[in-house]
């Protein structure tokens, strides 16, 4: 799809009409979402239509230099999906920092969103302090990592941020290629710089009055505040269900079978009401 003069990659899988469309929304810095989340969405596409939108700066989409405020990013999602004939309503499945985008979308266009299924999704309260950026907590300064990447850090076995879970050899090769090509580009770095402002915007919008299922990790690299903020958020609405998992932040790597089953059961029960 061509959005604001740039190409944005939209991947779909699963037959339309099999319930709502589940939209995969990737974590900050995930270089190739269409490959990274395959281990999970391939287990959902037998029942639901799946869409993966790769934001600008991610995967096969262009690198643009456009603003990365949350309103602009949600507008781009909606326009790209509409151009591809994906009209919803949607079940949003955000991972980590894209939780802010999912909440903003549900706040401003609630008729388009049936539910949110959060994959260790971020909530606005977490970003109250400047040090609370999950990507920097994991790996250090994004700009420092960008410099290391430019001299080949990502090509060192065991260090490159590439998962082979659920991928064919050809898909893994593409995943690696995209990682070397787009990791921590100007769009991704701008998104990191904008996260505090985006969190404040979403905080002002309140909690959407739609069903939300949150899968939460106990990854201590995110700090104690991450899980506590998720629990505090969930406690504020009877429409939010929180499931605690014993695994790392990339929960789709470790618990894809469980998440797929629970998501199917949850949506079947929730959407039938």
Q: What is the pLDDT along the chain (273 residues), one digit of tens a residue?
A: 999 999 999 999 999 887 899 999 999 989 999 999 999 999 999 999 999 999 999 999 999 999 999 999 999 999 999 999 998 899 999 999 999 999 999 999 999 999 999 999 999 999 886 555 555 555 455 555 555 455 444 444 444 456 788 899 999 999 988 988 888 899 998 998 899 999 999 999 999 999 999 999 999 888 888 999 999 999 999 999 999 999 999 999 999 999 999 999 999 999 877
In whole angstroms, give the CA distance from residue 30 to residue 250: 10
pLDDT of residue 44: 97
pLDDT of residue 272: 77
pLDDT of residue 273: 74
Q: Which of 75, 72, 67, 59 is nearest to 9 (CA)?
A: 59
pLDDT of residue 180: 82
Q: Is the peptide bond before 89 cis (omega within 30 degrees of 0)?
A: yes
Torsion, CA 89, CA 94, CA 98, CA 103, rounded to 10: 50
Answer left, alpha or beta for residue 166, where phi above 0 means left and psi between -120 and 50 means alpha: left
Question: 121 and 202 in contact (C-beta within 8 Å)?
Answer: no
Identify the sign of the CA torsion 41, 45, 48, 49.
Answer: positive
In whole angstroms, give the CA distance from residue 101 to residue 121: 10
> Where does residue 222 rank: exposed (0-12), middle (13-18), buried (19+ CB within 10 A)?
buried
* Structure-token pair, residue 176: 């690696």
pLDDT of residue 145: 52
pLDDT of residue 264: 97
Helices 142-150 and 186-193: angle between axes, nearest 10 degrees: 170
pLDDT of residue 134: 53
> Where does residue 95 rank: exposed (0-12), middle (13-18), buried (19+ CB within 10 A)?
buried
pLDDT of residue 154: 44
pLDDT of residue 165: 86
Helices 186-193 and 195-205: angle between axes, nearest 10 degrees: 50
Torsion, CA 103, CA 21, CA 9, CA 222, rounded to 10: 40
């Amino acid at each position: 799809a061509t959005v604001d003069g740039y190409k944005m990659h939209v991947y779909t899988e699963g037959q339309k009409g099999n319930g709502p469309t589940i939209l995969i929304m990737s974590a900050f810095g995930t270089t190739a979402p269409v490959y990274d989340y395959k281990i999970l969405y391939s287990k959902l596409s037998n029942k639901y239509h799946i869409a993966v939108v790769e934001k600008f700066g991610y995967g096969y989409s262009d690198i643009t230099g456009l603003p990365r405020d949350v309103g602009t990013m949600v507008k781009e999602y909606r326009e790209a999906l509409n151009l591809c004939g994906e009209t919803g309503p949607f079940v949003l499945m955000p991972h980590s920092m894209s939780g802010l985008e999912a909440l903003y979308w549900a706040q401003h266009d609630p008729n388009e969103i049936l539910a949110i299924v959060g994959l260790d999704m971020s909530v606005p309260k977490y970003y109250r302090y400047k040090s609370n950026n999950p990507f920097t907590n994991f790996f250090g300064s994004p700009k420092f990592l960008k410099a290391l990447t430019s001299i080949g850090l990502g090509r060192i076995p065991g260090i490159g941020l590439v998962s082979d879970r659920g991928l064919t050899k050809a898909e893994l090769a593409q995943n690696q290629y995209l990682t070397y090509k787009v990791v921590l580009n100007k769009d991704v770095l701008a998104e990191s710089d904008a996260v505090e402002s985006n969190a404040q915007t979403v905080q002002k919008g309140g909690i959407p009055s739609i069903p939300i299922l949150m899968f939460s990790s106990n990854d201590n690299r995110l700090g104690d505040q991450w899980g506590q903020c998720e629990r505090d958020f969930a406690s504020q609405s009877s429409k939010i269900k929180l499931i605690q998992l014993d695994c790392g932040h990339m929960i789709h790597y470790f618990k894809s079978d469980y998440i797929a089953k629970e998501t199917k059961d949850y949506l079947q029960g929730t959407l039938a009401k």
